[in-house]
Chain A
Amino acid sequence: MDHISVQTENFSQADCYSLLHNPANTEAKYGAVVTFTGIVRDFSKTKSLKALELEQYPAMTKLAMQNLVSTAKVKFDIGYVVLIHRVGYLAANEQIVFVGVSSIHRKAAFDAAQFLMDRLKNDVPLWKKEIDINGNEQWVEAKDSDIKAGEKWSTD
């Protein structure tokens, strides 16, 4: 089944996977599950990082994620989607984001997972602040490469 969540608490990949593929659900005729998990890096280009602080626009974040999933379901021949993003204080090496997609054949699930991640980085109101090992804080600037990756889907 689908599951979309913005949350402070960690998530279990096993729980996410069981939403995408449940052997007892004989209604679901899917032959592929693709998942991606994002991890908080302990380094940036210039320094060692202790954590990230994720800010969100609470009234809009989940709505934007739901819209992305709806768009993905129109664009690709896919089954279930699980999309989870964590907010708040996240220490280095913690899980931050999960995208999972089921489909009949693998290509649609790979493409939809890529689409969801690329567009999430452009359309969902979340902002990262880096906290380095000395406790200094700095907002992360949006990367041109992420903006271009998101834009390429709108011209396909």
Chain B
Amino acid sequence: MIKVLFFAQIKDVLGVSELVINADNIKTVSDIADEIAKDYPKWELVSNTQPCLCAVNQTLTDFSNPVKSGDEVAFFPPVTGG
């Protein structure tokens, strides 16, 4: 299983902050995004309207990053701290 987290605008648009998805057939962050799109039609809105960043196990990375069962994957908009 893979733990998936959403933050800020992306969390608001999808209406969910956390999911657990089956790791079967998941090789990269991109595969997870495809799975989310199947269950959450609004995912298209997220990916079309703003850049979407991702982190695997609390490290910023890109959608081609490999993932495996037990990983934590987060999706969020560009950060605005400071």
Contacts and interface: CB of A to CB of B under 8 A. Distances in A.
What is the interface residue range for chain A against chain B?
A: 20 to 34
Contacts of A127: 7-9, 76-77, 79-81
A1 interface: no
A60 B9 contact: no
B66 interface: no
Given A121-B80, A121-B82, A141-B80, 17 more contacts: A55-B8, A57-B5, A59-B72, A64-B60, A97-B81, A121-B79, A121-B81, A123-B79, A125-B74, A125-B76, A125-B81, A127-B76, A127-B77, A128-B81, A129-B8, A139-B12, A142-B79
Q: Which of B7, B58, B60, B74 has the most CB of A within 10 A?
A: B58
Contacts of B8: 55, 127, 129, 139
B82 A125 contact: no
A140 B76 contact: no
B55 to A, nearest CB: 6
Nearest to A36: B82
A97 B60 CA distance: 22
Interface in B32-82: 50, 55, 58-60, 72, 74, 76-82
Interface of B: 5, 7-9, 12, 50, 55, 58-60, 72, 74, 76-82
Contacts of A126: 79-82
- Most central of B8, B50, B80, B81 by chain A CB within 10 Å: B81
A117 to B, nearest CB: 6
Contacts of B12: 139
Interface of A: 38, 54-55, 57, 59-60, 63-64, 85, 96-97, 117, 120-129, 139-142, 146-147
B7 A125 contact: yes
A148 to B, nearest CB: 12
A96 to B, nearest CB: 8
B9 A57 contact: no
Nearest to B76: A125
Contacts of A54: 81
Nearest to A128: B80
B74 A60 contact: yes
A125 B60 CA distance: 9
